[in-house]
């Protein structure tokens, strides 16, 4: 009897862990999921995104942003760029905001409230960076405050990389 219940419990725990692993593999940002095609992202956005080419959206971006739009919360307004690996699968989302009245600092504070202490902080002077690993959402969240350089700050969402190694 004891052995039977132990096996049932182990089966339930294993099923929960497999479900949690599968869920994190399909993590997302808002209405998108990592790995979507440009057409799928556009459909998920209700057709509201514009198409971009890499040279006018972000000349140094790799992968190339192919779609762009607007995104707003109660507190912040962003220009959003959707980047696709090899032009095929969603691999990064950039949210860019102009620093008006110290909003970049408020944005950093909002991220720290949501994700906790960053696992990395760098920069100094006119450029500051921070990175969070969001295991629950399956995202890497990278914050760049370049308000002292170009008057804006950026949040970059990308899939959380597996810790399994090679």
Q: Tens of pLDDT along 46-87?
A: 999 998 754 444 555 555 668 999 999 999 999 999 999 888
First CA to last CA distance, the chain: 42
Please determine, for residue 9, whether its predicted confidence score (pLDDT) is greater than 50: no
- Give the residue extent of every domain in the chain: 2-159
d(CA 90, CA 72): 20
Q: State the pLDDT at residue 11.
A: 32
| pTM for this predicted structure | 0.75
Q: Tens of pLDDT along 81-139?
A: 999 988 899 999 999 999 988 899 999 999 999 999 999 999 888 899 999 999 888 89
């Amino acid at each position: 009897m004891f052995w039977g219940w132990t096996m049932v419990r182990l089966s339930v725990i294993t099923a929960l862990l497999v479900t949690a692993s599968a869920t994190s593999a399909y993590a997302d940002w808002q209405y998108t999921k990592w790995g979507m095609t440009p057409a799928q992202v556009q459909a998920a956005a209700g057709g509201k995104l514009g198409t971009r080419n890499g040279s006018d959206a972000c000349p140094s971006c790799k992968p190339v942003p192919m779609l762009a739009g607007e995104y707003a919360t109660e507190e912040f307004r962003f220009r959003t760029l959707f980047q696709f690996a090899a032009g095929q699968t969603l691999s990064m989302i950039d949210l860019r905001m102009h620093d008006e009245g110290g909003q970049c600092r408020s944005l950093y504070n909002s991220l720290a409230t949501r994700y906790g202490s960053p696992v990395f902080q760098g920069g100094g002077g006119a450029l500051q960076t921070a990175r969070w690993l969001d295991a629950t959402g399956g995202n890497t969240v990278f914050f760049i405050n370049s308000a002292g350089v170009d008057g804006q700050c950026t949040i970059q969402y990308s899939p959380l990389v597996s810790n399994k190694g090679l």
